[in-house]
Amino acid sequence: MVRCVKQPAPATMAEIAEFDAIIDVRTPAEFELDRVPGAINFPVLDDAERVEVGTTYRQVSAFEARKRGAALVARNIAKHLLSEYFASRPRDWHPLIYCWRGGKRSGAMTHVLREIGWSAAQLEGGYQSYRRHVVAGLGTLPGQLSYRVVCGETGSGKSRLLHALAAAGAQVLDLEQLARHRGSLLGDVPNERQPSQKAFETGIWHALGRFDPARPVFIEAESRKIGELRVPETLLTAMWASPCVRLELPLDQRVGLLKEEYAHFFADPDGLCEKLDRLTSLHGKAVIAEWKALARSAQWDRFVAQLLSKHYDPAYRRSTGKHYARLGEAAVVACSDRGESGMAHAAQDALRAADPAEIPA
């Protein structure tokens, strides 16, 4: 006789930290779009199978779709259970399972795991419940923290300073790292795709929730969009009203830094010139032609210096001056060296300017 195990009440978002593992049983495409932080993907239907079941539902009947879906789900669950991951779980393992809406897919996996003897539970409302929780959190969390906005012209090393601040123990929210983009026309990260808007927001929400409200959060000054991704409005509003720290780096160091970080463009002058065409409406054909000539003749120092003085610096000053109300009273952190040692010293100065209590003993 098959032993029937009573299904527990679904778990809520407030209980999510109580579980040993979070298992996402949605398709790989759904998982890639966004997921609960730390979740592991064990799909009970893959992308093609989900389309097949949905097509059967629409074109044949719900009954036939359920039969086909059940067979596929049973096969996939069996395959997962034979994997090393499940085989090595102890008897007292306590996993949380979720799918799109907390329905049949997560219900099937939860039932099988509980029949085995593990204390598995479904997430109430599934991913949709989680997503509503993230959206609600982004409406309130940004306003519960204090920020120190790192400003500075392009190439001054703002991202490097954030990394140095994090290494020194400061609280840092690196939006460009979460967005996988450097936030400008040439900001694409080689061999990296930007995450979805939902995944970007999840990353921000997850980071904000881990910060101590009693300590400042260092964050780089950004515009409304980083590449194709939008910064949440509530976070922008909080940033624009926050104290600023202005990082200054000599021009030759800025040029050197940009040559290091954008070396992939210098290896492909034709691709770089294609991107420069997007600036024609701002600077005119003659200026763009001059920049292209410098790029194609590998005069990189002159090329970078001109791009900074004629495009990036004026644009940055206009943008930050327009949005960051406290920029005029910013504490200035002067750094003479773009290297690791120079940024480490700059981080200490930034900490001192933000809050002397932040300096490690």
Average pLDDT score over residue span 333-347: 96
Active site residues: 99
Question: Which residues are CB-neighbours of 292 under 8 A, at least 6 positions away?
Answer: 273, 276
Of 47, 41, 150, which is closest to residue 98 (Cα–Cα)?
A: 41
- pTM recorded for the entire structure: 0.90
pLDDT of 94 strictly over 80 = yes
d(CA 349, CA 185): 30
Average pLDDT score over residue span 331-353: 95
pLDDT of 358 strictly over 80 = no
Question: E strands of the chain, at which residues?
Answer: 21-24, 40-41, 95-98, 121-122, 147-151, 171-173, 217-220, 225-226, 229-230, 244-248, 331-334
d(CA 69, CA 75): 10
Question: Which residues are CB-neighbours of 169 under 8 A, at least 6 positions away?
Answer: 360
Per-residue model confidence as pLDDT tens digits over 12-35: 999 999 999 999 999 999 999 999
> Torsion over CA of 350, 354, 356 and 357, rounded to 10 degrees?
-110
Question: Which residues are CB-neighbours of 121 under 8 A, at least 6 positions away?
Answer: 8, 10, 11, 19, 94, 95, 96, 97, 110
| Tokens standing for residue 351 | 């900490």
Q: What is the pLDDT of residue 353?
A: 87
With cut-offs at 50, 70 and 90, classify the pLDDT of residue 268: confident
Q: What is the pLDDT of residue 4?
A: 53
Contact call for residues 33 and 198 (beta carbons, < 8 A): yes
pLDDT of 360 strictly over 50 = no
Of 223, 217, 214, 200, which is closest to residue 138 (Cα–Cα)?
A: 200
Domains parsed from the chain with CATH numbers = 13-135 (3.40.250.10), 145-358 (3.40.50)
| Tokens standing for residue 253 | 């160091």
Question: Which residues are CB-neighbours of 323 under 8 A, at least 6 positions away?
Answer: 221, 223, 236, 240
